[in-house]
Chains A and B, each alone.
Chain A
Amino acid sequence: MAHHVVPQKIYVLIFATLICLTLLTVDVSFYNMGFLNIYVAMTIATCKALFVVLYFMHVRYSPKLTWIFAGAAIFWLIIMFSLLASDYLTR
């Protein structure tokens, strides 16, 4: 519900978290963890994106229909990536 007024404190807290996660992802990129590098970087990026979607885009306070739309995007992305990987990774 767009009518829901979120305390500004929460926005500032999310903002601080996003900045910290940015510094963390830069910092870990200087350590060589082999194939894990990409997984760590993508996990941090996904966390950041989730914070933005849930709080800045108000999805947390939105009706279920908005959740379905956002979920549909991720669902179709997964289809696209898995079909692509099933080709290129099996050659």
Chain B
Amino acid sequence: MAEHSENPYVAHHFTDMEQQREAGSLGMWGFLVTEIMFFGGLFACYATYRSMYPEAFGEASKELNIVLGTVNTAVLICSSLTMVLAVQFAQQGKRKQLITFLVLTIVLGTAFLCIKGFEYAHKFQEHLFPGSSFAYAGPHPQQAQIFFSLYFIMTGLHALHMIIGIGVLIVLIIQARKGTYTSEYYSPVDVSGLYWHFVDIVWIFLFPLLYLINRT
């Protein structure tokens, strides 16, 4: 055991803190790679149908509210900023600021979900949710229904990831209040940040693909 670090935070199978931290973040990256492939399948499906029905997708896309979509993109980017600052405060051992910025991230994440919910409600009222009550006045209702199926599946799955992310952040706040994280040990905050930014990236691609196909 001569090689082993004296630091109580270092698990016995790691040489030092640096190695432990890198292993933790690499593990998260491994998970994110599977997530990229998971969403990638849906993006591939979208690409195929859009190449088959470009006009219908362009028409259906205009039904989405561009103002709400843009505001939501900005809200999510803001939440990424507050998250990255939270990670930095954790790194510096500033517990108060860490908690404040985790709370801010949750508030922004919740704001995103509220706006999304508002948009969903509107689509239900307009009978644009795929299914037996689907009603669309445009020239290609069948193909538009495929667009809306993809819209609800992709944004719904993204929203589910946001909800899970908010759950993770709540756990982080509870732990931070107990004083679990120090400038030496903050890996859970770090890897949760990676997850949060990944969810942001998914939206960065979803926004132009769903809302901005053809606005001319």
Contact = CB atoms under 8 A, between A and B. Distances in A.
Interface residues of B, number: 50
Contacts of A88: 48, 51-52
Interface in B28-47: 29-30, 32-33, 36-37, 40-41, 44, 47
Interface stretch (B105-113, B170-178, B197-205): B197-205
A37 B194 contact: no
B81 A11 contact: yes
Nearest to A65: B26
Interface of A is mostly: helix
Interface in B175-216: 187, 190, 193-194, 197-198, 200-201, 204-205, 207-209, 212-216
B115 interface: no
A5 B92 contact: yes
B198 to A, nearest CB: 8
B208 to A, nearest CB: 4
Contact of B44 (A49, A52, A80, A89): A80
Contact of B201 (A11, A41, A52, A85): A52
15 contacts: A2-B187, A11-B88, A15-B80, A18-B77, A22-B73, A22-B74, A25-B212, A26-B70, A26-B212, A30-B216, A32-B214, A52-B80, A53-B197, A62-B25, A70-B33
Given A12-B81, A26-B70, A69-B33, 14 more contacts: A1-B22, A6-B88, A18-B77, A18-B80, A19-B74, A22-B207, A31-B216, A38-B213, A52-B197, A56-B200, A66-B22, A77-B37, A81-B44, A85-B47
Interface of B: 18, 21-22, 25-26, 29-30, 32-33, 36-37, 40-41, 44, 47-48, 51-52, 66, 70, 73-74, 77-78, 80-81, 83-85, 88, 91-92, 187, 190, 193-194, 197-198, 200-201, 204-205, 207-209, 212-216
